[in-house]
Amino acid sequence: MTADAPLQQRFGLSVTPENVLGVRAVVLQEAQDLQDMLNNEQEQVILQRLGMDPVSRDMSEGFNLGTQQLLERARRHIDTLKALGDELAASATEYGHAETDIKSSFVPGLEPVAASKVTPVLLQAAGMGVDGDRSSPRTIDGLLTGGMR
């Protein structure tokens, strides 16, 4: 599969006219949750200089460079999820959904109403229970190491 393939295909999503808005809501909720987590914790992961000696200086600079690269990777992932949300909105338009329904399928800060039409398997894969609740909060360690939790 190439990087030019549609994001829906690259993520292995199978959307239908009935579930496209719910899938979009789950994807955008994930992007929002990751963005909120980064906003809240990114300053805490920067290592302050531990001492004035060259080893401490070099260690903190090297650690912070690696941390910044991981944070940038996370930002790119968030951008990809948002682009997937845009692609899903375009699919919803092609399926004949009204623009107002598409816009209201995900409103930041509100529980995504359309997510109730997503299969339990997809909700679980997105880290959400079948009732739409998060099973546990994400941590910065999980994000930076690529873990789910």
* pLDDT at residue number 132: 45
Question: By C-alpha distance, which of 125, 104, 101, 107 is closest to 13?
Answer: 125
What's the CA gap between 73 and 71, in Å, rounded? 5
Residue 79 lies in a domain: yes
Residue 74 lies in a domain: yes
Residue 11 lies in a domain: no
* pLDDT at residue number 137: 43
Q: Which domain holds residue 129?
A: 16-145
Residue 6 lies in a domain: no
DSSP state letter for 128: B
pLDDT digit string, tens, across residues 92-142: 999 999 999 999 888 877 666 565 555 565 655 555 554 444 444 455 555
Residue 7 lies in a domain: no
Name the residue with tokens 């999503």: 13
What's the CA gap between 22 and 54, in Å, rounded? 53
- Specify the number of domains making up the chain: 1
Q: Phi-psi bin for 101: left (phi > 0), alpha (psi -120 to 50), beta?
A: alpha
Q: Are 148 and 139 in contact (CB under 8 A)?
A: no
Residue 45 lies in a domain: yes
Residue 10 lies in a domain: no
